[in-house]
Each structure stands twice: as structure tokens, then as C-alpha cells.
Structure 1
Amino acid sequence: MPNALLYQFPIPMSKYYVFFTRNILPQPNVASLVQVAHSANAAANLGLPAVLVYLRKGWNAFNPVDLLFPFQPRKPDDKLAKIYNLQDQLKVVDLPMPCPIDLFDSKWTSSSTIVSKYYLPIHLQKSTKIVHTRDWNFVKAAIKNGIPAIYEQHHHESKKFEPEIVCNPLFQISVTVADTVRNSMIENGMPPEKVIMLHNGFNQLFLARQTADSQIWRQKLLGDGRENLAVYAGGLYPFKGVDMLVDVAKELPGVQFAIAGGDPSQVTAYQQLAKHKQVNNIKFLGYLPQNQLASLLQAADVLVHPHCLTEAATFTSPLKFFDYMASGTPIVATEIPSLLEFQSGNIAATWCEPDNPQQFAESIQASLIKYPRKVEGYAETRDFVKQFSWENRIERILSYVDEEVRSIGS
């Protein structure tokens, strides 16, 4: 019987580049998980034996065989692949978390403890060359089990970094997306030479032209004599400027606005806000999987990025801004600190001050005149953004990793 089990559930012999998130996938509206999935996908596209490891909870986590043989890398299922635009090269593993894991506020029933004390040392260690994660507890567990680690932190956090971890030779590098976050990490104990700033990236599939699907979007969304389409894609939150867009749409009754993103409750709330303000040229499409979003961005005459001047504006590296550029569609964006460097980039973009709906509306009008829609997109923008592919980002991160560790797969 043991031999039969071994043949049915073989222990992988390869050494993997493990991307770990202590979350259930997919969660379509969570930008941090999109970033994790795209990073893992990019590593696989580079020919590395990458595996995206996440959690599985609920009744389907009670399979005792899965508990005994949890690390079985496989291709992503269709749902996961479509939501995150994953290619076939990437492998995934979902670690089962049966009840009462995470139901009670206890160290011994937390998923972090189960991963660190059971899955990592017993099942992942022998098959892992390096881990890459935004989970600090997982980084600490990896180092303590002799596994090299890459850590990502994209927001300001108050935790102090333990010297025995960050000064350990196994701790390869930490990555953030803003200099302000890098500075706060250093203040909290991260050695300056162990933290770099790199922007987020875009999925290569956004570069592929989707002319037919884009035309279908225009036929679906344009009407009532309107010829121009303005699109926003992202979270439905006031600080991202979505409230302001309702006011902007009212200023431009001849332009059709389409808003992609948000959960059903957020969509309903903004539909009611638009109705209350008597704005009838704005449509809230809800969440769209990435494979549909690319054609919507290419369908627009202008893409809007109305982020307000908040604390988040000092460190955000918005995923959608890079997707916007990859589409080649003209962009109207607010001059928030984290995007100022792109003002000098060779892109078809119009910039205006934040929190000013009147000026934002005027900027949209100016963009429609200066940058008329091109079916093929603006080549200069598409060329500029290529440096920010997820694949390039992974290569730059790995350039900071020890040469011996970079020989992943052996």
C-alpha cells in the first residue's frame, strides 16, 4: 500500500521557485493577489520552475490524502487562469486548511502556524529552491528552515524587522514599489542594501491587439449620439477618484463613461450615486476578468486615472496604470506623487491636478482632440511600457539573488 501511494502521488524532484500567499484564490478584486499571480506567471514565462502556492479552505479541504501529500504542482484550472490571465507554464498548489483553522483567534489554529510548522518543513522544504512572498511570517519560517527568501512589502507597516532574519545570508532581497515605503522599511530595521524599489508591471497579454472584441465593446457601450468612450478600470473607492468621475461625467454629457471593477455592493452604491446626481452617461460594468479587460481598454478613446491626493497617492504603484499604457490608449491622469516620473515618459497622456473635476473634464476634452483614437493604439506608449513587464521585473529581482540560488530547478 505505501508503494502504491508513492506511485500515485510522487514527490516532486525539481527545486521550485515558490510564490506564496496566505489567501484563497481566486479573489478577483484584490489587487495584491493579482500582483502575486502575475509575478509567478512571469517567472514561469521566463522558463523557471515556478509554482504559485495558496490556501484552500472549506469542505473540500478535508481530503486526508491531500493533507498527507499536499505539494502536487499542477496546471491552473480554467477559472483561475482566466481571472489572472495565466499561461500554461505556471504550476499551482493549494494547501488544504480544514476546520477549525482560522475560525478561532489562536496561534495553534491559525493558517500561518499550520503553513510554517507543518507544510513548509515537512512538504515544501525538500522541493523549494527559493520562496517569494508578501507574507513576513512565511519569510521567517523559510529562513529558519534553510530556504532562501525574497520579501515584498508594498505599503507602510509598523512591524520591526528582526536582525537575525534580515541579516541572515539566506534573506536575499526585499522589494517595494515606492521610495517612501523603502525609507520606512529601513527605519524599521531593514538593511538599506537589502531593499530595492521596483514598480509593478503589466501582463504581456495586454499588448496583444483585440480589434474585434474592442469593436464589440464600442457597439455595446456607445449610444444616444455619443461617439467617445472614456474608461476607468480599478477599485471602486472614493480615494481612487471614482466619486469625482461621476461629477466629471456630468460635466461631459457627450462622452460615455464606463467603469470596470468593484463588487456588487459597490457597483450598486455608485449606480445609486449617479442616479441621485442625475448622471446618465456612466455605466458600471462590475468586475471583469483580465482576458475581457484588455479589449475594453483598447476600445476606449481615453482611459482615466483620477486618483485623489491622499496618503496612498505617495506610495501606490497602480497595476491598472501599466495595463493602461500596454493598451496604447491615451490616458488622462492626475499628478499624484507616485506617478510624477511618468510625466517625462514618451506616452500619449494628459496630466492635471488632483481633486479638481472641472480640470479633469477639460483634460479629457483636450486629450480627445490631441490624441484621436487609433485602432492599433499609440506605438510610443506601447513601446515605453515594455520595460515594465512582469518578466523584466522578475529578472531584475533575481539579479540581486545569489548566483547559486539563481540556478533554480537544479
Structure 2
Amino acid sequence: MPPGKFLRGLRTRVTDTDTNVVFMRIIYPVSEPITTSKARFIQIMNTCHALASLGCEVDIITGCLSESTGDILKRFNLEPVQRLRIHKVPMMRAGHGGRVRISWGLIFNVSCLLKILGLVKKKAYTCIYLRHLKLAAFLLRFKKRIGVPLVFEAHELFSVTSKKKKMRRLEALVYSGFDRIVTNTETIKVLIEKTFSVGSDRIHVVRNGVSREIIASFRGKEPRTNGKILYVGQLYRWKGVECLIESMAFIENALLDVVGGSEESIGRLQELASRKGVLDRVFFHGQVPYHNVKLFLNDGHVAVLPLKSSPDASFTCPLKLFEYMAAKMAIVASDMPVIREVLRDGYNSILVKPDDPKSLAQGIMRLLGNRALSVRIAEQAFLDVSNFTWQNRAEKIEDILKGLSSVNHHSSP
């Protein structure tokens, strides 16, 4: 691709209601079916929607979807935006019963590559932006042919969380061959820089967020002091919900609502609650539509983020943290470096020792028993969350992509 054509793609001008608008073009491949049940898809869709709302053209490539772009956006409570398009290509995933039980990733990878080549042939694109490591390594092999800068968003280090040596090799390839790396925490950024010798000019921190609409919907809310404890999210073991269940044995009369998780995980935690004698005070609601989640957020007093001290948890930037803050809930969270990037003990949260039910119980009881402290912390968290919106995230990504004009996009990995 001639340099002039690339730069025109980077700073293309279009006319929108008689106003010249500068925008970028981004291809975002997603090598999984997009569902609302997993946080990563909520993050992807909100990020892409926010970028498109800023004026960027965003082309998502995914598979296994029969819905229109508008219907998919509706599932995520997002309004249609003209410059956001979703392209479906062949994909085979693990199934149940008589369906295919293996994942044929190569089918999607090749289909995705062909779609990308078709798109970049028609228009000049700013970059290909993605967060799936195996797909990133595959596309890197064709970087010269694609002729567009590559940006990888890292949410964990698989060489730390996985015992597979292959993952470290893939990460080494991607972190050395991609033009820019985006992380959602400073913790991951520092570790990537040290482990893979990535220069600080190529790696940037852009944290997750929450929608301005959610913040606005809770603006008039008075922080609750009704003694209700809330956990929202998946029930993977590294989330630390076992510790929260055990802590209930040290908190008299309080009620806990647990929203989210699979039936298998709920069953495991119900057995634990029964053994600890707190089953009558812990209510499991499973997966619920988001408008119902908002009801719990609106009515809750103390929100808990009880992460375990584990490799998986050490990289997380939980979406629910920002929703807790937006909902003016008093937050108790595990005291971990990744959490301290957003929360401060005694300022906008109470931070407690991870994996310690008694410490967690003490933190919760501190808020339940001190109305003034609880309200002050909840109000401060609400003020702070304005720094963590999807629009802010999109603006930071856009600033990073502006620097790609200096990238030699013809270079091979």
C-alpha cells in the first residue's frame, strides 16, 4: 500500500450534516461467538460502539451469528450507530449433543484473513485491533500482505496463568511483532515490558469502563444503608466468592445477593453455604437480564469484589467494579496492586486482605455499622467513576492510533 494511501485512510474526511469530521477506520476481529454472558464481549462491544460514536469506522469480524448488527447491539443495550458494522464469517465451535465437539479455529482464522484482505483492498484502514492471542499470532504471519498496522489488547499473560509453553512463544511473537500493545492495567503493562522487553513507546494502559448512561441513571440516587450485601459477576474460583460465602458466618443477620454464574458454580457455592450454616441468608439469582442487574445495584448497600490472590485475579480490571462505583454502592474489595490502580482504602472503598474471610467480614461490617463512612465512600466512588467511561476509553485508544502514522506498515514481523 503506498504511504499516501495509508495516511489518507488514517485521516479521512467525511461530511456529516455539513460538518467535516475526521475519523479512523478500524477492523476488530473476534474469534468467538459474541454473547452477553461474558464480560469480554461486553467490553468489546462497548469499546467498538464508543469508537464508532466518536466518528471512527469500526468493522467487527466474528462468526456464528444470524442476527443483524442492530439486533446484536440491542442485546448489549446499545443504540445503532452508522459507522459500526458486524461481518459474519464461517466459524465452528464446541457444541453439545450431536453438534461438533471440537473447535476448528483455523476455519475462522482463514475466513477472517480473507475478509480482512477484502476490506483493506476496498478502503485504507488505520489498524487491525484485537484481543485474542491465537488469532493475533495467526494474522501476524500475514502482516506484510495485509499492509495495515496491528494493535493487540492484552488482558492477561497466558505464560503466567497457563502452564502451556506454547502460550509464551505466542506472546513473544505478538509482543515483538505487533505495532502497538494496549493493556487494561498498569500491572500487565509493567510485566509485559519486563518479560518481553517491549519498549514503553509501544505499550499503553487504557482501563475498562462503564457507560455514561449507567452513571446518569444513578446520579439522583441516595447511597443505600439498608444492610444488603451484593456480589455481581461470574463465579469462577479466582473471583473469590467462596471467601465471601465463608465471611457471612462472621456477619450476623446480614443478607447476601449473588447475581451471575453457571448452575454448576451456584450448586458448588450452595453446598459451601450450607456447610457454613448461612444458606438461609445467601440468595443465588444466576444469570439475569441487565435491567434486572440494575435493580440489584440500585437497592444494594455494600458491593463486594473478593478476588483471590491468584495469577488470574492479578491481571483483572473488572467491569463490575465500575458499575459498583456508578451505582453509588459502598465497595469492599481485595487489597491487590491491580485493584489499587482504581480504588484507595478509606477514600472510595475499604480494601481487605485477600483470601481471608474474617478480614473480609470486618471490612463489610465496618461499612454496615458506620453510615457516615458508607455514604462518603459511595459518593466518592461515584465521583471517581467519571474518569472510567467507555467514551474516555475510546478517546484514549484513538489518541494511541494517531501515532500509527509513523509505523512502517510494510515491515514484516
- TM-score, length-normalised on structure 1? 0.76
The separation in 1 between residues aligned to 2:129 and 2:138, in whole angstroms, is 9
Residue 236 of structure 1 deviates from its aligned partner by 0.3
Residue 335 of structure 1 deviates from its aligned partner by 0.6
| Kept in 1: contact 2:211–2:389 (CA 8 A) | yes
Q: Match of 2:26?
A: 17
Q: Give the letter for the 2:118 counterpart.
A: I
Residue 124 of structure 1 deviates from its aligned partner by 5.6
Q: Match of 1:154?
A: 155
Alignment of 1:200-219 (within 5 A): 200-209=208-217
Q: Match of 1:95?
A: 88
Q: Could you say if the C-alpha distance between residues 39 and 347 of structure 1 is closer, same or farther in structure 2, counting changes exceeding 3 Å?
A: farther
Residue 211 of structure 1 deviates from its aligned partner by 9.6
Q: Could you say if the C-alpha distance between residues 347 and 262 of structure 1 is closer, same or farther in structure 2, counting changes exceeding 3 Å?
A: same
Q: Could you say if the C-alpha distance between residues 294 and 227 of structure 1 is closer, same or farther in structure 2, counting changes exceeding 3 Å?
A: closer
Segments of 5+ residues of structure 1 without an aligned counterpart are 1-12, 62-73, 219-225
Q: Match of 1:330?
A: 330
Residue 400 of structure 1 deviates from its aligned partner by 2.1
Q: Match of 2:182?
A: 175
Residue 133 of structure 1 deviates from its aligned partner by 1.0
The separation in 2 between residues aligned to 1:114 and 1:205, in whole angstroms, is 36
Structure 1 residue 185 and structure 2 residue 177: aligned?
A: no
The separation in 1 between residues aligned to 2:209 and 2:92, in whole angstroms, is 36
Of 8, 31, 45 in structure 2, the residue corresponding to residue 37 of structure 1 is: 45
Residue 164 of structure 1 deviates from its aligned partner by 7.9
Q: Could you say if the C-alpha distance between residues 298 and 209 of structure 1 is closer, same or farther in structure 2, counting changes exceeding 3 Å?
A: same
Residue 142 of structure 1 deviates from its aligned partner by 5.7
Q: Could you say if the C-alpha distance between residues 100 and 269 of structure 1 is closer, same or farther in structure 2, counting changes exceeding 3 Å?
A: closer
Q: Match of 2:70?
A: 76
Per-residue Cα deviation, 1:102-152 (whole angstroms, up to 9, x for no partner): 976778x53112211x21112465244432211314652466312233210
Per-residue Cα deviation, 1:323-344 (whole angstroms, up to 9, x for no partner): 1111111111121121124444
Q: Match of 1:258?
A: 257
Q: Could you say if the C-alpha distance between residues 24 and 164 of structure 1 is closer, same or farther in structure 2, counting changes exceeding 3 Å?
A: same
The separation in 2 between residues aligned to 1:235 and 1:347, in whole angstroms, is 27
Q: Could you say if the C-alpha distance between residues 289 and 202 of structure 1 is closer, same or farther in structure 2, counting changes exceeding 3 Å?
A: same
| Kept in 1: contact 2:367–2:374 (CA 8 A) | no
Q: Could you say if the C-alpha distance between residues 147 and 292 of structure 1 is closer, same or farther in structure 2, counting changes exceeding 3 Å?
A: farther
The separation in 1 between residues aligned to 2:121 and 2:405, in whole angstroms, is 14
The separation in 1 between residues aligned to 2:227 and 2:117, in whole angstroms, is 57
Provide the secondary structure at the position in 2 that maps to 1:398: helix
Q: Match of 1:165?
A: 177
Alignment of 1:7-406 (within 5 A): 16-26=25-35, 28-56=36-64, 75-77=69-71, 80-89=72-81, 91-97=84-90, 109-116=106-113, 118-123=114-119, 125-127=121-123, 128-135=125-132, 136-137=136-137, 140=140, 141=142, 144-157=145-158, 158=168, 159=170, 160-161=172-173, 165-166=177-178, 171=179, 173-186=180-193, 187-188=195-196, 190-209=198-217, 227-279=226-278, 280-344=280-344, 347-371=347-371, 378-402=378-402
Residue 244 of structure 1 deviates from its aligned partner by 1.2
Segments of 5+ residues of structure 2 without an aligned counterpart are 1-13, 15-22, 95-99, 159-167, 407-413
Q: Could you say if the C-alpha distance between residues 204 and 295 of structure 1 is closer, same or farther in structure 2, counting changes exceeding 3 Å?
A: farther
| Kept in 2: contact 1:125–1:147 (CA 8 A) | no
The separation in 1 between residues aligned to 2:304 and 2:93, in whole angstroms, is 44
The separation in 2 between residues aligned to 1:354 and 1:133, in whole angstroms, is 32
- TM-score, length-normalised on structure 2? 0.75
Per-residue Cα deviation, 1:147-184 (whole angstroms, up to 9, x for no partner): 23321011113122268833xxxx3x211123443244
| Kept in 2: contact 1:261–1:287 (CA 8 A) | yes
The separation in 1 between residues aligned to 2:375 and 2:185, in whole angstroms, is 34
Q: Match of 1:5?
A: none
Q: Percent identity?
A: 21
RMSD of equivalent CA atoms: 3.6
Q: Give the letter for the 2:258 counterpart.
A: I
Q: Could you say if the C-alpha distance between residues 162 and 249 of structure 1 is closer, same or farther in structure 2, counting changes exceeding 3 Å?
A: closer
| Kept in 1: contact 2:348–2:377 (CA 8 A) | no
The separation in 1 between residues aligned to 2:104 and 2:351, in whole angstroms, is 49
Q: Could you say if the C-alpha distance between residues 144 and 379 of structure 1 is closer, same or farther in structure 2, counting changes exceeding 3 Å?
A: farther
